[in-house]
Structure 1
């Protein structure tokens, strides 16, 4: 089983688009795939057979992009209604999150589904708090998956990317590579920034996703991702 943790240089940089794109690319290879979003804020209420429940658009996208059909709560065990920092939203809802419990959930889903390729998407950036003492980095360190960094291409991305790389390495985790996601239709000096990332990172560039707009799909993103490079790097 190959598993990867998707983090981003900030919130709103396109982690889900890249995550679903990777799932779509793995599906093309005939792999059994699962996507997990352990924590999601900004959820909305939806009616199900068992009553009303909170669901999240990003988690739904992961569920839809995976080749293995699993229950929504397996994809997203912690769904928070307020679109704010997860640990604050959880505290406001009387929910306690711990890195260990979330890791156990991911391992259980991975084992039960018999997936060959697993994507676990974080919430926000690398150091988003889970509670008063733990961050998303603690979760990822215990999970142990190689990290893929999604770089939101906008002013400040070089600093944000270098800080993220430094923090991931300080945690002792391997970085499988990075993906540049163009989140603005006309970023100034885009080519120069991409070249700077290539020069500064010395890490595999797994793709450059152009600006695809709000209705971008997993299949569209997959066209710009070098899935074969990812598998060569890790295996």
Structure 2
């Protein structure tokens, strides 16, 4: 958030930020951070799940920001214009959910006010949380989980309405959308072993989701190993393993309108 705020500075002083849009907001964790970082702005949480948006509403009320954080149900592909204009548009893992990613970026640009900033959090590094050899099953389980998840992701992309293949060079894609790239940074999360209980519970949820999404892509041995990791009653499970850690990186790409449009 501090980095984004710094990118919005003009002539050594902060640029006015009156409206922020959080695309694919999820339950509103980043929405709240945006509202706290830009205290004079209305922040719009846009998502396609009514249930998720109710979580945003509850979080905003609990944080005393119900008057500044608004929710907007949108399906994006047809309704970018309904989001209205903004000084800052943020999207974390939202563009890859749209069939034509380049067209989606152009639609976001159309909502960006002169002097504003578009920040896209895509790519980065997938989480690593297990050593190569975990003492059960074949070594290298996590690499095979990553490969199966990548195949499933590719199939998901291919089934999206209007799906179009593109080279995912995000700075080049932002430039092709009519913006000037203004910086890319990766932000690391590094939690060494032994993990606390909240991180272990997160990993249990992550592995449960993987089992449900790609379990049928794994061979019988890997599926059995995954079930052992999800067993909450043994020390071999992810909730009790002393060797579990968490390491990942999120990469944010930013761009702003050409000077001639300001």
Report which of the two structures shows the higher radius of gyration computed on alpha carbons: 2
Q: TM-score, normalised by structure 2?
A: 0.33
Query: RCO greater where, 1 or 2, for CA within 8 Å and sep 6 or more?
Result: 1
Q: TM-score, normalised by structure 1?
A: 0.35
